[in-house]
């Protein structure tokens, strides 16, 4: 069953991921899956690996990369439910799961903050899909209700922008050419809403979780084996630069490319661009 995401607590995020960002992520799906795979793998290792027969919820599953990989690990006896608010991204996820013949996979277009899960899941996971809730404590409480007793939640989220040069450097460089807005609220829904790990730990506690841990994960974000120019064109489609670059006049776009290229050039070595990133891996147990 598919649930339409209409007006609700995360309506603005639904519009953003359903209209503004979705076409880009669908188009770049293969490259983004490759770039983000190490973070999902670190998450799986943190929980001790996935086992056959497990039932998993994947929050903010996007184009389905983690759902499909995890489905292969839990096998036909397991179950992976991918939930996301983006219709176009879920359409791509369904297409990929169908091509792979994965009967243990299902998808819901819904808001995980309020969706009525059937309880009993072993694990709620998310790779960078969980930082966009209007009310994170309410969302964590709802996700806890999806779990069986002693079930677990585990997710990876970004540390602060300043600790992620792969996003900060292009943004600072692009601001030399165009205006890029900054949020006055560091906790507003968005990529860096969970940068304060202590705050996230406290919210998980408020939702009733126990055995809560936050572990730093550092990794060089790899933009692929290609020319520096091609890597930069890909990079400026991501993060805070993306919308500004897409809306800029051609001459300003060219200026952005030049500025970002010079900013990241020191990280281009041996035919690849790899820039440091920093994330948190959060884990907790349901009562």
pLDDT of 82 above 90: yes
At 138-187, the pLDDT tens digits run 999 999 999 999 999 999 999 999 999 999 999 999 999 988 877 778 89
The CA distances from residue 260 to 168, 178, 200, 247, in Å, are: 11, 12, 32, 16
Distance of alpha carbon 87 from alpha carbon 91, whole angstroms? 6
Q: What is the share, in percent, of the chain residues with pLDDT greater than 90?
A: 77
Residue 29 has a CB neighbour count (10 Å cut-off) of 18
Name the nearest CA neighbour of 108 among 116, 119, 96. Answer: 116
User: C-alpha 67: how far from its chain's center?
Assistant: 13
Residue 181 has a CB neighbour count (10 Å cut-off) of 8
Q: Are 154 and 283 in contact (CB under 8 A)?
A: yes
Backbone angles phi, psi at 90, to 5 degrees: -65, -35
The CA distances from residue 279 to 14, 113, 160, 207, in Å, are: 24, 22, 8, 22
Q: Are 241 and 171 in contact (CB under 8 A)?
A: yes
Task: Pinpoint the alpha helices (H) of 185-249.
Answer: 197-206, 228-235, 241-247
At 232-283, the pLDDT tens digits run 988 888 877 877 777 778 888 889 999 999 999 999 998 899 999 999 999 9
Name the nearest CA neighbour of 134 among 85, 93, 88. Answer: 85
Name the nearest CA neighbour of 267 among 258, 276, 259. Answer: 276
How many residues would you count in the chain?
287
Distance of alpha carbon 228 from alpha carbon 28, whole angstroms? 18
- Point out the least confidently predicted range of 2-16, 28-42, 164-178: 2-16
């Amino acid at each position: 069953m598919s649930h339409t995401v209409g007006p609700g607590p995360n309506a603005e995020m639904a519009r953003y991921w359903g209209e503004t960002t979705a076409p880009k992520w669908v188009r770049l799906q293969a490259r983004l899956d490759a770039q983000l795979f190490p973070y999902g793998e670190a998450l799986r290792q943190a929980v001790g690996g996935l086992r056959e027969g497990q039932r998993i919820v994947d929050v903010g599953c996007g184009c389905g990369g983690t759902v499909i990989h995890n489905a292969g690990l839990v096998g036909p006896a397991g179950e992976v439910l991918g939930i996301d608010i983006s219709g176009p991204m879920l359409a791509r996820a369904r297409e990929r799961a169908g091509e792979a013949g994965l009967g243990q996979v299902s998808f819901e277009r819904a808001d995980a903050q309020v969706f009525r899960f059937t309880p009993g899941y072993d694990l709620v996971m998310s790779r960078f899909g969980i930082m966009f809730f209007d009310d994170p404590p309410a969302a964590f409480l709802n996700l806890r209700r999806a779990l069986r007793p002693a079930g677990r939640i585990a997710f990876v989220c970004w540390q602060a922008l300043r600790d992620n040069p792969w996003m900060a450097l292009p943004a600072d460089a692009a601001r030399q050419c165009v205006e890029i807005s900054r949020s006055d609220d560091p906790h507003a829904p968005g990529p860096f809403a969970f940068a304060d790990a202590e705050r996230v730990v406290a919210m998980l506690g408020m939702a009733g979780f126990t055995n809560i841990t936050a572990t730093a994960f550092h990794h060089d974000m790899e933009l692929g084996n290609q020319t520096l120019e091609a890597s930069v064109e890909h990079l400026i489609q991501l993060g805070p630069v993306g919308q500004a670059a897409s809306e800029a006049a051609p001459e300003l776009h060219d200026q952005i490319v030049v500025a970002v290229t010079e900013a990241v050039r020191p990280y281009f070595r041996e035919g690849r661009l790899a820039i440091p990133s920093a994330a948190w891996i959060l884990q907790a147990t349901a009562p």
